[in-house]
Amino acid sequence: MSNSTRPEVTMYTDGGCSPNPGLGGYAAILVKQGAEKIVTGAEAETSNYRMELMAVVAGLEALSISSNVTIFSDNNNVVRGFNEWLAGWCANGWRNSRKKAVDHADLWQRIQKQSERHSITLVKVKAHVADQDASDAEKMNNRADALVSEARATYLAEQASVTAPSEPEEEAESQYRLYIAGSRHASDKMLDYTRRIVARAIENSWTIVVGDNPQGVDQEVIKELCRLNYSNVIVVGIAKTPRNGGVSAGQYVQYGKSYLERDQAMARCSDRGIFVWNGQSRGTETAYRYMQSLNKTQHLMDFSATFAEGTV
């Protein structure tokens, strides 16, 4: 029951994974008297449902004062779990009506503990409503959803930082990340240019970020890295294992449900991008345009005629 002496807090939560299960993120936007506080986080191996719950947990645990809290969530199981089932689970030793252990009971127990501090109301809100048609709560849910994607991208960027035992100056140099991408259908000239890019990156001790495509430029990067025994590399794909075999001593990060999402994440976590283009591949051009929109250093090497921009 609401207590009139407590402050009023409105919370908008969201969580998700890509793929599910896989790399997950969560976000809570807390609003109190017009002021906002944002809580986000990510986990490497988790599920959509767990991240939706974690968003509620993290938001509630961020409150230092007992409050009247109204939480908007787009997950029906979270809302019904709190409003309809939580009391019964608690009374039944965290077993459901089928006598089975409650999924993610550890998080539900943390929510139950917070309900002893706060007066909590959970409200269901529609997900992914276009802003022009959305209510204020639905717009805030869209913001929370965007923060989830940012949390996952931040986690990916942190994983792309390769730490090696070296002098601080050398370590700082090695953290520069070069994103190499290109067309699946690549000419001999394109592949030769790709090998030159790899050689330049190795010469500068850069971390190479590359996709897991088993054809074209991605595959040539992997072949050259393996041939030269260079391990300062992050291969990123949406499958559980790299389709091009990856680099055995390097890292592989599984991220996203689509190659567009994967490519954008690689752009965000890199300092510079070089895109070796056959003049036709829309995926390569789209990735280049996205990195350009981030105001990061990027080069589109157009092999359909002559170089369009820049050199290595």
Spatial contact of 162 and 207, defined as CB atoms under 8 Å apart: yes
Check if 218 is active-site: no
Q: How far is CA 289 from CA 65, 128, 240, 255, in A?
A: 46, 25, 27, 20
Taking alpha carbons only, the member of 19, 18, 16, 22 closest to residue 40 is 16
| Catalytic residue (one of 16, 41, 52, 283) | 52
Check if 104 is active-site: no
| Catalytic residue (one of 14, 138, 218, 263) | 14
| Catalytic residue (one of 24, 25, 74, 218) | 74
Taking alpha carbons only, the member of 101, 255, 251, 75 closest to residue 177 is 251
Check if 128 is active-site: yes
115 vs 120: CA distance, rounded Å: 6
| Catalytic residue (one of 43, 138, 145, 212) | 145
Check if 52 is active-site: yes
Check if 136 is active-site: no
| Catalytic residue (one of 128, 136, 192, 309) | 128
Check if 271 is active-site: no
Question: What HEC string does 33-77 produce?
Answer: CCEEEEEEEEEEEECHHHHHHHHHHHHHHCCCCCCEEEEEECCHH
Active site positions, annotated: 14-15, 52, 74, 128, 145
